[in-house]
Amino acid sequence: MFRFFENLVDPYASYAHTDHPPTRLWPFLRSFCGPFKKVFWVTGLLSIVVAAIEIWLIYYMGRLVDLLGTEPSQMWDDYGTELLLVGVFILLIRPLVQGIDVALLNNTILPNFGTLIRWRAHRQVLRQSVGWFENDFAGRIANRIMQTPPAAGEVVFQVFDAISYSMAYLIGAAILLTTSDWRLMLPLLMWFALYGWLVAWTVKRVGPASKAASDARSQVTGRVVDAYTNIHSVKMFAHHDLEVAFAGEAIEHARKTFQAEMRIFTVMDVALTVLNGLLIIGVVGWALVLWTAGEASVGVVAAAAALTLRLNAMTGWIMWAVSSFFRELGVVAEGMETIAQPITLVDKANAAPLTLTDGRIDVQNLTHHYGRTSGGLQQVSLTIAPGEKIGLVGRSGAGKSTLVKLLLRFYDAESGRILIDGQDIATITQDSLRSNIGVVQQDSSLLHRSVRDNILYGRPDATEVEMIAAAKQAQAHDFILDLEDPEGRSGYDARVGERGVKLSGGQRQRITLARVILKNAPILLLDEATSALDSEVEAVIQETLYGMMAGKTVIAIAHRLSTIAEMDRILVLDDGHIVEQGTHDALLDKGGLYAGFWSRQSGGFLKTESDA
């Protein structure tokens, strides 16, 4: 039975991607509701039916009180069949209707609706550009992805479990009192008006308060995750107290925003208690007045008392449900600020896959300053022949990494263009571009998965033999066999920790190299590929790198100039311009900037800007 309800909706069903998600709250929520439309309609109808049954039960208890005035023997003769049918209804029909309603809510909607939102939100955020991620905290992004789905699920739950049910219940209560004596409805209507005012007062305040509290919680998460991610820096600089204080500031802000939110609920609870007292006295007292005047039966008084006591018990729940509804809407609104941001770096509508034939790269008048007035590249033009090996040299901030990022299309250039085999990379698909480029970065961070998973990331369909061969070529196989994680997994099955923290810098770099070797892309970008290696290992890896370069078009960034001395051509970047280019020997003979870098090196490293 559970599987039937759990499988009514597929949260992973295909859907149309959009680069511009709705940025208003209700359209944003509706965009996830498509697969649930029929289920929502049935659940809403059942909520009304359940409320109607509850009202009918109160009505029938009043009728039963009136029937008790009949002689016992006569009562069973006249009403025995009716009482039997009512008993069957209460024992069989009511649980069936209630069970279907609860199963749709608990087994169909809640697990699947949150899953659908989390799945789609994660896919949407992963489509954002590298620059988008660089402008936010990973912890805050992850927090919003995790908070939004359960909040949205709670919103839907309250709509059907509380709001639709309570509205149907209140309408049914008014009808019941009217059929007994229309004057009984007057105190109910007065109470309902005051209750509606209290709900409006609460909702007006709880929405902004809950959003402020949610923002504050996200700030706490962002600061805590930032400290954990950079725990080595925290420990190296002995800044435990500084980080505690930094997080404490956000924690205290979260406490104050939560206090402000809870004050609203305290006022609401006290006011609600007073209102419920007025409801009981107004309806039951008026029913007693009618009874003493002979205008209402004992059953009417009993039904009125039961109804008001039931409403008294429900109103706190309804108020809390409505408040929770708007509080969770505040959480959804906060998550929407991240999830609904437009995708700005997209493939063109008619983008075709890259057709790579030779590996020729043409850079034409390329300018990019990241939206600023300085930094980056300025009017750079460059042609790299198929199979040519290019070295990039320059001070920090000269534009080397910018050129690599633009070649990978992590950003769209502000002006100019890059062609690969005559194809503008802005007109081809991003995936096909990056699948043809192998990258080894200075920051050799790994996924918190097994060594095998990290190496196979380069080519997931590679065989075990191919993966091990790549590891051996990267001089990684031997140390991998000696690895063991705290859970007892060893060798290629050992997990490397977050960002590869359980490995040394050289070990991480060699696994990164193995991953790129396995990918075997025709274009190779090396950004300080051997910076984390000691001299002995570097000498061995250097041979591996030159083996990797065979037949490929290569761009290598290096501060350790000895690693690029054998390149076909070396480009010297300064202040966003190519100021020198040529072979190592030719640039030394020229006596320019490169020759100055070479002469000032100590141990093969390029000096800093101030030293240079």
If pLDDT is split at 50, 70 and 90, which confidence band does 184 have? confident
**Rounded average pLDDT over 276-287:** 78
Least confidently predicted of 204-213, 536-545, 603-612: 603-612
**227-247 per-position pLDDT tens digit:** 887 887 888 888 888 889 998
Supply the pLDDT for residue 608: 43
Same domain assignment for residues 193 and 287: yes
pLDDT exceeds 80 at position 316: no
Of 317, 339, 361, which residue constitutes the final position of a domain? 339
User: Which residues, other chains included, contact 76 with Cβ-Cβ below 8 Å and sequence gap of 6+?
Assistant: 83
**40-58 per-position pLDDT tens digit:** 999 989 988 888 888 888 7
Of 520, 544, 560, which residue constitutes the final position of a domain? 520
**325-366 per-position pLDDT tens digit:** 877 887 888 888 888 999 888 888 889 999 998 999 999 999
pLDDT exceeds 90 at position 268: no
- The reply to whether 345 falls in a domain is no
- The reply to whether 3 falls in a domain is no
Supply the pLDDT for residue 360: 93
Least confidently predicted of 134-138, 233-237, 400-404, 596-600: 134-138
- The reply to whether 81 falls in a domain is yes
pLDDT exceeds 70 at position 609: no
Supply the pLDDT for residue 383: 94
**Rounded average pLDDT over 239-257:** 90
If pLDDT is split at 50, 70 and 90, which confidence band does 167 have? confident
**423-481 per-position pLDDT tens digit:** 999 999 999 999 999 988 877 778 888 999 999 999 999 999 999 999 998 888 999 99
pLDDT exceeds 50 at position 602: no
| CATH number where 402 lies | 3.40.50.300
Tell me which of 266 and 385 has the higher pLDDT: 385
Cβ pair 530, 538 in contact under 8 A: yes
Percent of the chain with pLDDT over 70: 94
DSSP letter for each residue of 173-240:
HHHHHHHH-GGGHHHHHHHHHHHHHHHHHHHHHHHHHHHHHHHHHHHHHHHHHHHHHTHHHHHHTT-H
- The reply to whether 344 falls in a domain is no
Q: How far is CA 190 from CA 46, 174, 194, 272, 331, in A?
A: 29, 12, 7, 14, 33
pLDDT exceeds 90 at position 565: no
In whole angstroms, give the CA distance from residue 278 to residue 484. Answer: 70
Supply the pLDDT for residue 497: 79
Residue matched to tokens 């939100």: 121
| CATH number where 17 lies | 1.20.1560.10
If pLDDT is split at 50, 70 and 90, which confidence band does 531 have? low
Q: How many CB atoms lie within 10 A of CB 345?
A: 16
Whole-number mean pLDDT of the chain?
A: 84
Same domain assignment for residues 421 and 459: no
Percent of the chain with pLDDT over 90: 29
Helix (H) or strand (E) segment spanning residue 469: helix 464-473
CA 488 to chain centroid: 31
Of 305, 339, 373, which residue constitutes the final position of a domain? 339
Same domain assignment for residues 576 and 482: no
Same domain assignment for residues 359 and 401: yes
- The reply to whether 332 falls in a domain is yes
Same domain assignment for residues 409 and 499: no
Supply the pLDDT for residue 467: 94
Q: How many domains does the chain have?
A: 3
User: Which residues, other chains included, contact 429 with Cβ-Cβ below 8 Å and sequence gap of 6+?
Assistant: 347, 351, 352, 353, 354
**Rounded average pLDDT over 210-233:** 83
**Rounded average pLDDT over 509-531:** 86
Residue 26: closest CA among 140, 136, 159 = 159
Tell me which of 17 and 490 has the higher pLDDT: 490
Cβ pair 407, 437 in contact under 8 A: yes
Tell me which of 425 and 286 has the higher pLDDT: 425
Same domain assignment for residues 134 and 232: yes
Same domain assignment for residues 174 and 212: yes
Domain extent for 457? 448-520
Same domain assignment for residues 216 and 303: yes
Same domain assignment for residues 559 and 486: no
In whole angstroms, give the CA distance from residue 550 to residue 353. Answer: 25
Residue 365: closest CA among 406, 410, 409 = 406
Which tokens is 257 given?
A: 């925003």
Supply the pLDDT for residue 180: 67
Angle CA 85–90–93, to nearest 5: 90
- The reply to whether 346 falls in a domain is no
Same domain assignment for residues 418 and 272: no
- The reply to whether 546 falls in a domain is no
- The reply to whether 30 falls in a domain is yes
Same domain assignment for residues 257 and 311: yes
If pLDDT is split at 50, 70 and 90, which confidence band does 607 have? very low
Which tokens is 469 given?
A: 């061969």
Burial code of 219-248, b = ≥16 C-beta within 10 A, e = fewer? Answer: bbbbbbbbbebeeeebeeeeeeeebeeebe
pLDDT exceeds 90 at position 407: yes
Answering whether pTM is above 0.85, one says no
pLDDT exceeds 80 at position 533: no
Supply the pLDDT for residue 419: 95
Tell me which of 317 and 220 has the higher pLDDT: 220
Same domain assignment for residues 480 and 427: no
**Rounded average pLDDT over 497-517:** 82
